[in-house]
Amino acid sequence: MHAPVVALFLASGRGTRYAQQKPGANKLLEALPDGGIVIERALAPYLAAADEVIAIVPNAETQIMLTLRRAGVRTVIAPDAHLGMGHTLAAGAREALYRFPNLAGVMVGLADMPWLRQETVTSVMNAMRCGELCDAVRVRNAGTFGHPVGFLASQVLSLTTLSGDAGARVLLQSGTLRIRYVDVPDAGCLLDVDRPNDIG
């Protein structure tokens, strides 16, 4: 089997802005007008396209964990997720290296992006496997960067040291990475659920 590309599916955000406008709601469990719930729809393209998926959650919250387990997704708990996305991403990268030491790289995806198309995930996968020398792959729609973001194997160890709320931006903006850009006709790679009005 070829070296896997592992999707790190970040499902540990607190959804504070959403909950401020809809007290008690978890945006990842909210129903979408055209069917399904946010986290299931956001997960689907990664399940269909990635070789492996690891979901990172802040705790063993029943509904989120049940949803992920029903989907057959491997999960890892990041107890310090409240300190920022960097901590969540680091926990996922460590798990990926432990489970798949021969991995080809990881893709970083977000659990609150239910409009992302499978074709976009596949495009990032293909760019990571194309043989062109690069350290990372960034997806763009109409000139704006979105998700997923791909990191080749040489960079995954660097992800394990991240902290704070900047996520992987510190690496992407360092000027030291060779980045390949993939343009896609998919506005869903930019759209997340931040407030109740985003769902409609």
pLDDT band for 57, please (50, 70, 90 cuts): very high
Percent of the chain scored above 70 by pLDDT? 100
79 pLDDT more than 80: yes
Query: Given this model, what pLDDT does residue 59 score?
Result: 84
* Bigger pLDDT: 15 vs 8: 8
pLDDT band for 96, please (50, 70, 90 cuts): very high
Instruction: Work out the number of other CB atoms within 10 angstroms of the CB of residue 43.
Output: 27
* Bigger pLDDT: 136 vs 59: 136
Query: Each residue of 122-151: pLDDT tens digit?
Result: 999 999 998 778 999 999 999 999 999 999
pLDDT band for 91, please (50, 70, 90 cuts): very high
Query: Given this model, what pLDDT does residue 1 score?
Result: 56
